A and B are shown apart, each in its own frame.
Chain A
Amino acid sequence: MSVLSRIRTWWRAIIYGTRIGNEVEAELQFHIDTYADDLARRGVPPEEAARQARVEFGRVGVQKEKYREAIGLRLFDEIGGDIRYGLRSLYKHPSVSVVAVLSLALGIGATTAMFSLIYSALLHPFPYAGADRIVNPRVIDEKHPQIPTWFALTPAQFDSFRKAKSIDSILGFFLEGLQTTGGDLPEDVSAAYVTSNAYSFFGIPAMLGRDIQPSDVPDSGQPTNVVVLSYRFWKEHYGDDRTIFGRTLQLNHENYTIVGVMPSRFTFTETVGNADVYIPWTPTRTPGLFPWIKLKPGVSLAAANAEFQSFLNQFRQETPKHFPTSFRVSAQPIIEPYVHRAGRTLALLFASVVLLLLIGCANCSVLLLARGEARHHELAIRSAIGASRFRMVRQLLVESLAISFAGAAMGVGASFWLAKLPLQLMPNAFPQEAAITINFPILAFSIGLALIAGLLSGLSPALRLSRPNVSQIIQSTARATGGSTSKRTTNLLVGGQIALTFVLLGLAGAAIAGFMKVASIQLGYDPHNVMVVSIPLKRDTKKNQVGRATYIDQLRERVSSVPGVISVAVASRGIPPGQPPFGIGTLGPFEILGRQSQQQPQAEVSLVSQKYFATLKIPLLRGRVWNQTENQRGDFVAVVNQALAQRYWPNGDAIGHQIRIASLKDDGAPLSAASPQSGGWRQIIGVVADSRNDGLERPVVPAIYVPYTTFMWDGTAFFIRTAGAPLTFVHAIRVALHSVNLDQRISWTADLEEVLQHQPIWTQQRLFSILFSFFAGLALALSLVGIASTVSFAAARRTNELGIRMALGAQRSHIVWIVIRTTLATVTSGIIVGVVLNLALEKVLRHWTPGSVFAPWMVAGVALLLLICAAIACLLPAKRAANIDPMQTLRCE
């Protein structure tokens, strides 16, 4: 109760200040008048009575202050006064204030942007309920520990897995490529079959219509054919039509009733593979289910892994083919892949914006100190009439806080835009579902930041200026010459700014050099006008190797007759330059005939057609490539790359030797088909030049190329070189494929040049180059402003002295030199500190930005750039100082 009444009185006193003041006055006036009446009644003459009553109470106006003090508003009123005074004094020096506010706005804005990016991309990216407890089910094959895989369960296993103690709830799903039918051209649709608890698992209501519900799959009776659309699919196929419910979508000749549309943020995450439509799962649709697990609160990953292990060991006995021979479970929180991909990038960006913020704070301090010099007189008077040091420090801090909050307000606005930049520049490193919004934690962060920045930038000037030497300052009418401690502080700040700017410039330079290296790298193949078309093949259980090979060749033949198509190659796996998201796979072992070594040789195995090398323009160095007949047969031949030839036959006699790749042997898996001798000995018939096959930044690994007919899965890919922009040919190619088989579709296409630009190292270096250059540019600008203002304030303080010097015959150049020499010395020492810092940090940064290039010439270049810019920033205000008329200055005295 009493808390409420306090808030009420405060509220009234603050909001209705004048009215409450009047009421207080009226109350007191009544008191005085009544008292006077009483006195008069007791015989005191009326005038004397009124006087006496007033004397006893003092002035009525004072009572208002007493009222506010009594209810504890004194501090509030005083600080309010400080703020008003602070704003007035900012208003009186607009140029200084604007620069100070901007300095902090840049730092606070950039830091807030990075924080909101980290917050939205790594801390709270997913819209699902309990997203931090959802884990990807992964098993690690002890034989290939570097590639964890997911596992599928049979419906019975799924039901028993559901009962695991660590599981809160579990979603089963299976992705399948379907086609729209009943329309003109079939279109590919990626469908997710999800168990009917999808709604309760995700906790995301449909945007339109309804979610999939348990009633869609009744325990008994026929399940209903319903479909929920993803936002993107709805937009692309139905525009903004909100009346689509009840309409029919035909997929693979089956009718589905549309019941809902999911919101745009729900994309079923690309960790799994985005789906266009969601369909309730039934055992008739797919025989298996991938689990997505939400752990119970408080269950540790280790405990969950241990429990799942015992379940999976049991499952392996039932269905041995679904699991590796020896494996361990390693459930992974769904955010982890992204932390792995983007965590370091974000940490580094955050560190660099903190540097920017520090530079901004230093700049603000320099300006406040410089302006403080001009305010010495005022502060001395305040001190002389009894202001305590505490009050003066408070007053000065309130001023710097006013600056920092103004800066924060501007910065937060800008941060919204800046935070989105990395998402656009590095699209596949962040969760798709992350949405940058300005929300409470981010606002709280920026307010905290503004407080810190205000205190940081205001503290040293406040402490310094709140101790004026009263007698000296008030006695002398001349401008104070300024304490040496103040100069020292300013120099320290400017030097620090320069050192930090140096670090940022060095970082930007290294990032740009790294990007140039990545962008100009020798690929070893020509990606221009080449695209990859991924071709799914119908599952045929007959495992007819010859039939499948012939069918692929038929498709290839038809595609190569499309006008504008120059050359078509088949490649069953591997898209250069390798590495995720289009990784080729990893090194596997092979044997060399007649050679026994401790270490088994390792190579990357690519399954391609003979046209592969011509299509990608990979030159043949020695020997020959297999011909069409050999290609159909698949066995006995192999081509190797230069890296392999040189490693195992350094004398250049690789051709003619025999190698064997055991992993190409028919593994009996239901979807694969192999040639009779796929795992047998093959002769090396040719050596081709190296092309990047392990990512852009890593050296080329040894590679063996064998005919694709050796080992085939339920899908392959065509590499197609075209006469123009490749993706414009997709339609014609689609039509060509249909002419062979009406049901033949394309699962996806990619331009090789675009693939290159989606390489993590490429996007990361580009992001670093752009953002670091941006931050370094801002830092440079801030430091130069700091330098220029230091010089011009110093010159203004010494106007008299300079005037006298000029009157006595000093040259202009000499005057300029006097004015700038201290600052130049500061800048030079700042650069030296920067070089040292840069060298000290280099090792750490190398580790954090493996793609950046650190070189001594870069350090030298940055130092030179900084020195030149700083010299210009010194000279401009110094020249103005030297242009003054000496007589004028002396007369001013």
Chain B
Amino acid sequence: MLLFHLGDRMAKRVDLLQGTLDLLILKAISLGPLHGYGILLRIQQISGDRLEIQQGSFYPAIYRLEHQGWIEGEWGESENNRKAKFYRLTATGRRQLKTETDRWAKMTDVVGDILTATPEEI
């Protein structure tokens, strides 16, 4: 069962590129305040479960973003009536998300162009 599970995952999911987790977290929060678990769920949901997020690096990424002042955490009540910490984007965070998104788009364009180049084009 477990073996199958692992194989299943390996077949379906891709690992995140270095540094993109921050961007995804910012994006997830930009749609509305979320607690940590919610962020994880939302990313997985949007990606259609195709992304594997390392549990070990998920919270440190959130702490780092908070430390940099891009997101802000506040204690509130969750849907199951428990105390949970909700994160939302700050103004600088919003700017950061925009810059990072633009950079990402440019990057994928360039990399995509290179990868799809045909001998004739070169």
Contact = CB atoms under 8 A, between A and B. Distances in A.
Interface string B40-60: 100000000000000110011
A732 interface: no
Contact of A57 (B55, B64, B78): B55
Given A37-B80, A66-B59, A72 B35 contact: no
A629 interface: no
A244 B37 CA distance: 77
Nearest to A10: B67
Nearest to A8: B69
B71 to A, nearest CB: 10
A5 B93 CA distance: 12
A71 B37 contact: no
Residue with the highest number of chain B CB atoms closer than 10 Å, among A2, A35, A56, A58: A2
Contact of A30 (B60, B64, B82, B91): B82
A6 interface: yes
A30 B70 contact: no
A69 B80 contact: no
A63 B69 contact: no
B80 A6 contact: no
A6 B75 CA distance: 19
Contact of B78 (A2, A6, A28, A30): A30
A71 B68 CA distance: 8
Contacts, number: 74
Contacts of B84: 27, 30
Nearest to A28: B59
Contact of A9 (B56, B67, B92): B67
Interface string A220-245: 00000000000000000000000000
Residue with the highest number of chain A CB atoms closer than 10 Å, among B35, B56, B67, B78: B67
A66 B57 CA distance: 9
B60 A70 contact: yes
A6 B68 contact: yes
A539 interface: no
A9 B66 contact: yes
A71 B63 contact: yes
A124 B100 CA distance: 53
Given A4-B69, A71-B67, A33 B59 contact: no
Contacts of B70: 2
A67 interface: yes
B69 A2 contact: yes
A30 B80 CA distance: 10
A69 B64 CA distance: 9
Nearest to A3: B69
B69 A71 contact: no
Nearest to A72: B67
A34 B61 CA distance: 20
B36 interface: yes
A662 interface: no
Contacts of A24: 63
Contact of A2 (B36, B40, B80, B92): B92
A58 B56 contact: yes
Contacts of A37: 80
A15 interface: no
Nearest to B91: A1
Nearest to B36: A31
A23 interface: yes
Given A27-B36, A30-B35, A66-B60, A56 B69 contact: no
A30 B67 contact: no
A31 B39 CA distance: 11
A31 B84 CA distance: 9
Nearest to B75: A23
A28 B62 CA distance: 12
A864 interface: no
Contact of A1 (B36, B60, B64, B92): B92
A275 B40 CA distance: 81
A56 B83 CA distance: 22
Contacts of B60: 66-67, 69-70
Contacts of B64: 70-71
Contacts of B91: 1
A63 B59 contact: yes
A614 interface: no
Interface string B88-103: 0011100000000000
B43 to A, nearest CB: 14
Given A58-B56, A69-B60, A70-B60, A1 B69 contact: yes
A69 B37 CA distance: 21
Contacts of B35: 27, 30-31
Interface string A53-77: 0001110000100110111100000
Contacts of A9: 66-67
A27 B67 contact: no
Contact of A67 (B40, B63, B68, B85): B63
A26 interface: yes
Contacts of A28: 36, 59
Contacts of A4: 69
Nearest to B84: A30
Nearest to A5: B69
B63 A70 contact: yes
Contacts of A27: 35-36, 59, 84-85
A325 B6 CA distance: 107
A676 B78 CA distance: 115
A51 to B, nearest CB: 13
Contacts of A30: 35-37, 78, 82-85
Nearest to B70: A2
Contact of B83 (A26, A57, A58, A63): A26
B67 A5 contact: yes
A2 B68 contact: yes
Given A1-B92, A30-B35, A70 B67 contact: yes
A34 B63 contact: no
B90 to A, nearest CB: 8
Nearest to B66: A9
A171 B61 CA distance: 66
Residue with the highest number of chain B CB atoms closer than 10 Å, among A9, A24, A27, A66: A27
Contact of A6 (B36, B67, B82, B90): B67
A7 to B, nearest CB: 10
Nearest to A66: B60
Residue with the highest number of chain A CB atoms closer than 10 Å, among B37, B61, B78: B37
A275 to B, nearest CB: 60
B34 to A, nearest CB: 12
A629 B99 CA distance: 107
B26 to A, nearest CB: 14
Residue with the highest number of chain B CB atoms closer than 10 Å, among A30, A56, A72: A30
A31 B38 CA distance: 9
A56 B55 contact: yes
Contacts of B92: 1-2
A37 B41 CA distance: 14
Given A28-B59, A57-B55, A70-B60, A5 B68 contact: yes
A1 B67 CA distance: 11
Contacts of A26: 83, 85
25 contacts: A1-B69, A2-B92, A4-B69, A5-B67, A5-B69, A6-B68, A26-B83, A26-B85, A27-B35, A28-B59, A30-B35, A30-B37, A31-B40, A31-B59, A33-B82, A34-B82, A56-B55, A57-B55, A58-B56, A66-B56, A66-B60, A66-B63, A70-B60, A70-B64, A71-B66
Q: Which 6 A-B pairs have the closest CB atoms?
A: A5-B69, A70-B63, A70-B60, A71-B67, A2-B69, A9-B67
Given A1-B90, A30-B85, 13 more contacts: A2-B68, A6-B69, A23-B75, A27-B84, A30-B82, A31-B36, A33-B82, A34-B78, A66-B60, A67-B59, A67-B63, A70-B60, A72-B67
